[in-house]
Amino acid sequence: MRGQLILIEGLDRSGKSTQAGLLTERLAQAHSSQLYKFPDRSTPIGALINKYLTDSSFQLDDHSAHLLFSANRWELYTELLQALNDGKFVVLDRYIYSGIAYSLAKSSLKHASSELGDVDWLYSPDKGLPKPDLTLFLSLSIEELGKRKGWGQERYELEQFQKEVKSCFLRILDPSKDSTVHLVNVEGKSIHEVQQVIWDVVVEAGCDKLTELPVQKLD
Ligand code: ADP
Ligand code: FDM
Ligand code: MG
């Protein structure tokens, strides 16, 4: 039996870190659980990513940046897989879909995607990583995001870019094509209300229980 892999995705300030923390605590009432946040800025590649996000004078080709975010996930791959197979529930605060959506929102990487929605180049470095058993995308309007605290000075924290990222997220996260994907409308909901909606989805999907299914891999 193994633990389940549950991913919380969304735009900056949509409440991912708050909810990922609360979900990890809730799962810990019955199981061992662990939270992983991506990018993980504490690793060697994470330090480079942190410099890229916080220092606007530090330039990287957009393809290189994309590959670094993926490489950062591979740095944690063995540990994360081991945790699941040891029966730990793993909650992810961002993962591959942030990787694709933020890159796809850049005009320089539009060529890596076709009109038909093929994002193969952007997707390929993550192939082989564990696939989440459940993905929750926290959705709310850009207007409401603007009212939230915590808007920093980081590279992607620009309103127009966030709008583009949101449409890219909604393009790649389609519940009608992947039953493990759920869009959670958090507009106007308190932290507690969102926590309850998320928990209901987790229970409904059976992701609050250990499973015998092997860890799925992204292909
Ligand atoms: P993210 O990790 O997505 O950037 P955070 O969880 O750090 O978002 O939350 C960003 C800010 O919004 C924090 O100040 C947090 O307390 C606040 N916040 C989170 N969820 C809600 C909510 N449902 N309603 C109002 N404010 C919220
Ligand atoms: N980000 C995050 C990416 O561009 N690609 C990725 O693969 C991942 C995981 O990094 F702007 C972006 C998204 C966001 C920034 O911000 C990280 P937080 O506040 O640490 O989540
Ligand atoms: Mg956060």
Mean pLDDT along residues 87-102: 98
- Does any domain span residue 219? no
pLDDT band at 159 (very low <50, low <70, confident <90, very high): confident
- Does any domain span residue 218? no
Cα separation, 158 vs 7, whole angstroms: 24
Mean pLDDT along residues 135-153: 86
The answer to whether the beta carbons of residues 132 and 7 sit under 8 Å apart is: yes
Q: Name the token pair of 187.
A: 């507009």
Q: How many domains does the chain have?
A: 1
Confidence check: pLDDT of 115 > 60: no
Protein residues whose CB sits closer than 6 Å to any atom of ligand 1: 10, 12-18, 148-150, 186, 189-191, 194
Mean pLDDT along residues 42-63: 96
Cα separation, 61 vs 199, whole angstroms: 39
CA atoms within 13 A on the CB side of 210: 14
Give the residue numbers spanning the domain of 42.
5-204
- Does any domain span residue 42? yes
Sheet (strand 33-37) strand order? 33-37, 89-93, 5-10, 134-139, 181-185
- Ligand located closest to 139 CA: 1
- 140-142-144-148 Cα dihedral, nearest 10 degrees: 110
- Kindly report the protein residue whose alpha carbon is nearest to atom 10 of ligand 2: 39
- Does any domain span residue 78? yes
Read off the CATH number of the domain in which 88 is found: 3.40.50.300
Q: How do residues 15-40 score in pLDDT, each as one tens digit? A: 999 999 999 999 999 999 999 999 99
Q: Name the token pair of 146.
A: 């603007």
Q: How do residues 185-201 score in pLDDT, each as one tens digit? A: 999 999 999 999 999 99
Please give the distance, rounded to the nearest whole angstrom, from the Cα atom of residue 135 to the centre of ligand 3. Answer: 16
Protein residues whose CB sits closer than 6 Å to any atom of ligand 2: 12, 38-39, 53, 69, 94, 98-99, 102, 156
Q: What pLDDT is attached to residue 147?
A: 85
Q: Which of 14, 38, 34, 31 is nearest to 194 (CA)?
A: 14
- Does any domain span residue 84? yes
Please give the distance, rounded to the nearest whole angstrom, from the Cα atom of residue 16 to the centre of ligand 3. Answer: 6
The answer to whether the beta carbons of residues 23 and 91 sit under 8 Å apart is: yes
Mean pLDDT along residues 38-63: 97
- Ligand located closest to 18 CA: 1
- Does any domain span residue 168? yes
- Does any domain span residue 209? no
- Does any domain span residue 217? no
3-class state of residue 201 by DSSP: helix
Residues linked to residue 89 through DSSP beta bridges, in sequence order: 33
Q: Which of 63, 94, 163 for a ligand 2 pocket mutation test, highest count of atoms within 8 Å of Cβ?
A: 94
